[in-house]
C-alpha cells in the first residue's frame, strides 16, 4: 500500500486570520454552520457575536464576516466571548476550555485548562476583562489570564480553602471582586487588579437562591436567576416573575433592559423606575432572546432560535450565513447548487456562490419536513422526499407537483436517477418505487425482503437500484428491464458466491466513473463490477493492502460512513476517524483529514458531496458542514476556453495555480516563449494544478508562459497563457 499524505497543520500559536467565506483557492477550507443559534454579543472595534459553533463580526454596513478554524481559530463550539479594549483583542473561550485571543491578524492559543487533569469539570462560564487581565469564571474557580503575554498567571478559589468551587460569573465594583458561586455571593478586595489571599467573604443573604448572573449598572450590582432580580445592597427581590425566564439584563441610556423567553415566546422589556416592566418587543418578533447589546440607536438582540436582530426605528434581521438548521437529511449537488433537506424542520436549504437560501414555503403553502433529495440529470430538476410524498421542483425552484405514493405512510429516505432520467425512490417500511414516463409505481419485492429501516440507495448506469438492506442483511439489488432484458431482485451477503461482502452491515454506496460499485461497511470496502445479475454472479473484490508490517483489507475494522467520487475518479471516504482521499484504484492514500489537522468539527463524516465545476468537497457531519477545495473537477467533452487562476501571478503568491476547463485527463505542458518546458502534468478530471515552480524547484522568471493542452489522441487541443509579474 503506497501512502502519500498531504497534512495541513492548523494548531500554531499565532496564525494569519482573515474573516471571509468566499470560495478560496485550491486547498482552502470554508465552514457552513447554522448560525441562527446566536448566543452572545460584544462590542469591540466592530460588533462581534457567537453562535454555538463559530464567531461572526458585523461592520457598520451590516456586512457579516465569519471566523472559524478555516481562517485562524483553533476550535469550534463557543462558550464565551469578550472584548479587551486596552489591547484591542477578542477573547474566545471554547466548550473544551481552550481560549483563543485574536489580536489583529494574529490568533494566540491558550490551552492550559484543556490540558490540565486537575478538575473533573473545566467548563468556562464567563469572561470578565479588567485592565490587562481576564478573569475566567469556570466550574473550579477563577482563572487569571495575562492579556499582554497571552498566558495564565494564577487560579483563584472564592472560598479561602483553595478547593474547587463552581464560579458562574464575576464583576468588579468599588475596588472589590464579586464572584457568584455555587455557594452564593463571595467578595474579596482588589489591589492592582489582584485579590488578597484568604480574604474572601460570603454574603449569606443570597445563599440558596440559585443566582447565576451578575450585572453592574451605575455603580449598583444586580444579581439574578431565571425568575428574580436582586440588588446586592438589598435582601429582597426588586423584580419577580417577569414575562418568562430571565435570560439577560442590560441597559441603554435611559435604564435597564431585560430579555425573557418562555416556550419559544420572547420579550424585550424595559424595567421602569418603580420596577414594573414595559414591553418593547414581544413574541410576534422574538422567540428565544438570550443576549442584548446597545450600540448607539440600535438595540442588538441575540435570539437563539432566529438569529440576530437590530432594533431601532425598525426591526432588521441580519443574515449570518449558513443553513437554517442542522443537516440530517440526504443531500445532493450539481454544477450550480448544493441541496440539503433539513429532516428536522420544514423545507430545505440551497447553497450556491451567492450564499445560502432557505425554502420553507412556496407562495403560501408550507413545505413539509423533507428527508431526501436528488437531481434528475435529464432536465436538472429537483426532487425532494417527505412522508409518503415526493415534491418536484424545476431548476429555478418553482414547485410543479406533489406525488402521494401510496396509502401506507413511510418516509422517502432516498431518491436517485439514472443518466437516462429514470428514477427510483426508497420508502421506509414500504420498499422501492420506480418512475418511468413521469409515473411512479411500486416494485414488488420478494416476500422475505424487509424494508423497515431502509435509508440509502443508488441507481447505476445499468438501471439497477442498489439498496442497503436493513438490520445487517447486506444489499438488495433490483435490476429493471430498462437496460438488461430481465427484471429481477437479488440479495448480496458475505458468502463468497453470493456477494462476498466484507460485512453484512453495509453503510455506504457509490458508483465510480468506470461503473464499479464501491460499497462501504463497518469492516472496510468491497468493489463490485457486475453485469446482468439474472445471468451472472455478482461478488465483491476486496482489495488486500500491504504496507510495512500492516496487512489487511481496505479500511478493515473501520466504519465507512460515506464514499464520493471526484472528477479524477478518486475516492473520498468518510469514516469515524476523519476523511481520506484515495487514488482511483484505492491503493494510494493521498490525504487524511481529521479535526486535528483541518477545520473538521469532529472526526465523524457522514456524507460527502463534490461540486463538479469547482472541485469543492463538502463534508457533512452530525452538526456541521465544512468544505475543502480539491484539485479535481469534471472534465469537458470538448476542449474550449482554458481558465487559469490566479492570473497574473504576483511575486507574493505561493499557492497552487489552477488550470480549469480542460478535456478529461488532458496532457498539460507549460513552456516559456522560447518553447523551453517548465512543467508538465496530467489533468485531474478537468483541472490541472501547478505549484508555480520549475522542475528544479525554482520560481520562474517574470514573463509570459504558454499553456498547451491536448488529449491522448491529439484531436482536442487548446492553448492559454500565464503572466508572472514582478510586482510593485
Q: What is the pLDDT of residues 160-190, one digit of tens each?
A: 888 999 999 999 999 999 999 999 999 999 9
- The answer to whether 360 touches 347, Cβ cutoff 8 Å, is yes
CA distance 304 to 326: 14
Rounded Cα gap, residues 507 and 571, in angstroms: 16
Instruction: Report helix, strand or coil for 115.
Output: helix
Q: Is 350 in contact with 336 (CB distance < 8 Å)?
A: no
Q: Which long-range contacts (CB under 8 A, 24 or more apart) does 511-519 make?
A: 511/458, 511/460, 511/461, 511/565, 512/565, 512/569, 512/571, 512/584, 513/565, 513/569, 513/584, 514/569, 515/460, 515/461, 515/462, 517/458, 517/460, 517/466, 518/563, 518/565, 518/571, 519/475
pLDDT at 712: 84
Q: 62 and 55 in contact (C-beta within 8 Å)? A: no
Q: What pLDDT digit, counting tens, does each position of 388-410 carry?
A: 999 999 888 888 878 877 666 89
Checking DSSP bridges between strand 289-295 and strand 277-281, what pairing results, if any?
A: unpaired
Q: Where are the beta strands (DSSP E) in 314-422?
A: 315-318, 332-333, 338-341, 348-352, 355-359, 361-362, 365-366, 372-376, 381-385, 389-393, 399-404, 412-417
| Spatial CA neighbour of 93 closest among 80, 75, 84 | 80
Residue 461 contacts residue 418 (beta carbons within 8 Å): yes
C-alpha–C-alpha distance, residues 519 and 510, integer Å: 7
Going by DSSP bridges, is the β-strand pair 588-593/2-3 parallel, antiparallel, or unpaired? Answer: parallel
> How far apart (Å, rounded) are the C-alpha atoms in residues 277 and 294?
18
Task: Report which DSSP code applies to 112.
Answer: H
3-state secondary structure of 474: coil
For 548, the 3-state DSSP assignment is coil
Cβ–Cβ under 8 Å, residues 590 and 582? yes
Residue 421 has pLDDT above 70, yes or no: yes
Q: pLDDT value at position 15?
A: 35
Least confident among 104-108, 235-239, 573-577: 235-239
Q: At CA 100, angle to CA 95 and CA 101, rounded to 5?
A: 145
Is 7's pLDDT higher than 70?
no
Q: How confident is the model over 46-77, as pLDDT tens digits? A: 999 999 999 999 998 899 999 999 989 999 99
For residue 422, pLDDT over 90 is answered with: no
- Tell me if 576 sits within 8 A of 624, measured CB to CB: no
Q: Which three cell numbers stand for residue 504?
A: 453484512
Q: Which residues contact 314 (CB under 8 A, 6 or more apart)?
A: none
Q: How far apart are CA 75 and CA 95, in angstroms?
A: 9
Band (353; pLDDT cuts 50, 70, 90) = confident
At 549 the pLDDT is 42
DSSP string, 595-661: TTTSS-SSS---EEEE-TTT-EEEEE-SS-EEEEE-S-BPPBSS----EEESSSBPTT--SPEEEES
Fold of 559-634: Hemopexin (2.110.10)
User: Which of 49, 30, 26, 24 minimizes the C-alpha distance to 39?
Assistant: 49
Q: What are the tens digits of pLDDT across the range 590-607?
A: 999 999 999 999 999 999
pLDDT for residue 10: 29
How far is it, in rounded angstroms, from Cα 97 to Cα 113? 6
Please choose, from the candidates 504, 502, 518, 632, the residue with its C-alpha nearest in 3D space to the C-alpha of residue 574. 518
Query: Which percentage of the chain shows pLDDT scores above 70?
Result: 96
Which ranges constitute the DSSP H helices of 326-464? none
**Residue 233 pLDDT level (bands cut at 50, 70, 90):** confident
Q: What whole-number distance in Å separates Cα of residue 285 and Cα of residue 306?
A: 9
Has residue 11 got a pLDDT over 60?
no
Please check whether the two domains, 559-634 and 643-724, share a CATH topology: no
Backbone angles phi, psi at 204, to 5 degrees: -65, -10
Just give the CATH number of 643-724: 2.60.40.1930
pLDDT for the residue 186: 95
| Phi, psi of 10, rounded to the nearest 5 degrees | -115, 5
Residues in the chain: 728
399-404/412-417 β-pairing? unpaired
Read off the pLDDT of residues 483-515 as tens digits, 9 standing for 90 and up.
999 999 999 999 999 999 999 999 999 999 999
Q: What is the pLDDT of residues 535-560, one digit of tens each?
A: 999 999 998 876 654 467 889 999 99
CA atoms 332, 644, 650, 667: torsion sign: positive
Residue spans per domain, the chain: 559-634, 643-724
Q: Give dist(CA 90, CA 102) in Å, integer.
A: 5
pLDDT band (50, 70, 90) for residue 695: confident
Residue 508 · residue 447 · CB < 8 Å:
no
CA angle 303, 308, 314 (to 5 degrees): 110
Q: What is the pLDDT of residue 1?
A: 36
- Residue range 618-675, pLDDT digits in tens: 999 987 899 999 999 998 888 888 999 999 999 888 889 999 999 988 999 999 998 8
Q: Cell digits for 278?
A: 414595559
pLDDT digits (tens, 9 = 90+) for 213-225: 999 999 999 999 9
Tell me the pLDDT band of 21, cut-offs 50, 70 and 90: low
Mean pLDDT over residues 333-345, rounded?
93
Establish how many alpha carbons lie within 13 A of residue 375's alpha carbon, considering only the half-sphere containing its beta carbon. Answer: 18
Percent of the chain with pLDDT over 90: 75
pLDDT on residue 106: 96
Q: What is the pLDDT of residue 409?
A: 83
pLDDT at 578: 95
Residue 313 in this model has a pLDDT that exceeds 90: no
Mean pLDDT of 469-477: 96
Q: Is this structure's pTM higher than 0.85?
A: yes
Average pLDDT, rounded, for the chain: 90
CA distance 168 to 177: 13
Calpha distance 154→383 (Å, rounded) = 58
Q: List phi, psi (to 5°) of 206.
A: -110, 15
Amino acid at each position: 500500500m503506497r501512502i502519500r499524505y498531504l497534512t495541513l497543520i492548523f494548531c500554531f500559536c499565532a496564525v494569519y486570520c482573515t474573516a471571509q467565506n468566499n470560495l478560496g483557492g485550491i486547498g482552502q477550507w470554508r465552514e457552513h454552520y447554522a448560525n441562527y443559534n446566536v448566543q452572545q454579543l460584544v462590542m469591540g472595534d466592530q460588533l462581534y457575536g457567537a453562535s454555538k459553533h463559530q464567531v461572526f463580526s458585523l461592520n457598520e454596513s451590516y456586512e457579516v464576516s465569519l471566523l472559524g478554524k478555516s481562517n485562524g481559530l483553533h476550535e469550534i463550539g463557543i462558550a464565551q466571548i469578550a472584548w479587551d479594549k486596552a489591547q484591542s483583542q477578542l477573547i474566545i473561550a471554547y466548550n473544551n476550555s481552550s481560549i483563543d485571543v485574536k489580536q489583529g491578524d494574529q490568533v494566540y492559543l491558550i490551552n492550559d485548562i484543556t490540558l490540565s487533569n486537575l478538575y473533573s469539570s473545566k467548563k468556562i462560564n464567563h469572561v470578565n476583562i479588567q485592565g490587562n487581565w481576564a478573569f475566567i469564571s469556570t466550574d473550579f474557580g477563577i482563572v487569571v489570564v495575562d492579556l499582554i503575554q497571552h498566558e495564565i498567571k494564577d487560579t483563584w478559589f472564592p472560598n479561602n480553602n483553595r478547593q474547587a468551587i463552581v464560579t458562574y460569573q464575576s464583576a468588579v465594583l468599588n475596588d472589590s471582586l464579586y464572584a457568584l458561586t455555587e455557594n452564593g455571593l463571595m467578595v474579596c478586595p482588589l489591589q492592582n487588579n489582584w485579590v488578597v489571599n484568604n480574604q474572601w467573604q460570603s454574603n449569606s443573604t443570597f445563599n440558596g437562591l440559585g443566582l447565576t448572573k451578575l450585572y453592574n449598572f451605575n455603580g449598583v450590582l444586580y444579581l439574578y436567576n431565571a425568575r428574580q432580580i436582586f440588588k446586592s445592597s438589598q435582601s429582597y427581590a426588586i423584580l419577580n416573575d417577569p414575562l418568562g425566564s430571565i435570560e439577560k439584563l442590560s441597559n441603554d441610556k435611559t435604564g435597564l433592559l431585560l430579555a425573557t423567553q418562555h416556550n419559544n415566546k420572547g420579550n424585550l422589556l424595559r424595567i421602569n423606575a418603580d420596577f414594573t416592566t414595559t414591553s418593547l418587543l414581544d413574541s410576534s418578533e422574538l422567540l428565544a432572546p438570550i443576549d442584548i447589546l446597545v450600540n448607539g440607536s440600535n438595540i442588538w438582540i441575540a435570539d437563539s432560535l432566529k438569529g440576530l436582530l437590530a432594533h431601532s426605528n425598525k426591526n432588521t434581521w441580519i443574515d449570518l450565513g449558513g443553513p437554517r438548521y442542522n443537516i440530517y437529511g440526504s443531500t445532493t449537488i450539481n454544477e450550480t447548487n448544493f441541496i440539503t433537506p433539513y429532516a428536522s424542520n420544514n423545507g430545505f436549504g440551497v447553497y450556491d456562490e451567492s450564499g445560502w437560501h432557505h425554502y420553507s414555503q412556496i407562495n403560501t403553502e408550507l413545505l413539509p419536513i423533507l428527508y431526501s433529495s436528488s437531481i434528475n440529470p435529464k432536465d436538472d430538476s429537483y426532487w425532494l422526499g417527505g412522508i409518503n410524498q415526493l415534491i418536484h421542483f424545476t431548476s429555478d425552484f418553482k414547485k410543479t407537483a406533489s406525488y402521494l405514493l401510496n396509502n401506507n405512510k413511510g418516509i422517502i429516505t432516498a431518491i436517485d436517477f439514472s443518466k437516462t432520467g429514470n428514477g427510483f425512490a426508497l420508502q421506509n417500511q414500504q420498499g422501492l418505487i420506480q418512475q418511468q414516463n413521469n409515473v411512479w409505481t411500486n416494485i414488488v419485492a420478494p416476500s422475505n425482503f424487509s424494508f423497515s429501516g431502509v435509508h440509502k440507495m443508488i441507481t447505476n448506469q445499468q438501471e439497477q437500484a442498489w439498496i442497503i438492506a436493513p438490520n445487517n442483511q447486506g444489499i438488495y439489488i433490483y435490476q429493471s428491464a430498462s437496460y438488461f432484458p430481465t427484471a429481477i431482485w437479488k440479495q448480496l451477503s458475505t458468502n463468497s458466491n453470493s456477494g462476498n461482502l466484507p460485512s453484512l452491515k453495509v453503510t455506504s454506496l457509490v458508483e465510480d466513473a468506470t461503473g464499479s460499485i464501491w460499497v462501504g461497511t463497518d469492516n472496510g470496502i468491497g468493489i463490485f463490477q457486475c453485469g446482468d445479475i439474472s445471468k451472472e454472479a455478482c461478488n465483491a473484490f476486496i482489495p488486500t493492502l500491504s504496507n510495512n508490517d500492516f496487512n489487511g483489507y481496505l479500511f478493515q475494522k473501520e466504519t465507512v460512513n460515506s464514499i464520493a467520487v471526484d472528477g479524477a475518479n478518486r475516492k473520498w471516504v468518510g469514516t469515524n476517524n476523519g476523511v481520506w482521499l484515495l487514488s482511483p484504484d484505492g491503493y494510494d492514500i493521498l490525504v487524511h483529514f481529521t479535526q486535528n489537522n483541518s477545520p473538521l468539527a469532529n472526526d465523524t463524516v457522514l456524507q460527502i458531496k463534490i461540486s463538479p465545476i469547482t472541485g469543492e468537497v463538502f463534508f457533512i457531519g452530525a452538526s456541521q458542514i465544512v468544505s475543502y477545495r480539491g484539485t479535481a473537477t469534471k472534465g469537458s467533452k470538448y476542449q474550449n476556453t482554458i481558465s487559469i487562476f490566479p492570473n497574473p501571478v504576483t511575486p507574493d503568491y505561493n499557492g497552487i495555480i489552477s488550470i480549469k476547463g480542460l478535456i478529461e485527463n488532458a496532457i498539460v505542458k507549460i513552456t516559456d516563449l522560447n518553447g523551453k518546458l517548465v512543467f508538465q502534468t496530467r489533468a485531474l478530471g478537468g483541472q490541472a494544478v501547478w505549484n508555480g515552480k520549475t522542475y528544479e524547484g525554482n520560481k520562474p522568471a517574470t514573463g509570459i508562459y504558454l499553456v498547451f493542452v491536448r488529449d491522448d489522441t491529439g484531436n482536442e487541443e487548446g492553448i492559454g497563457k500565464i503572466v508572472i509579474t514582478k510586482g510593485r
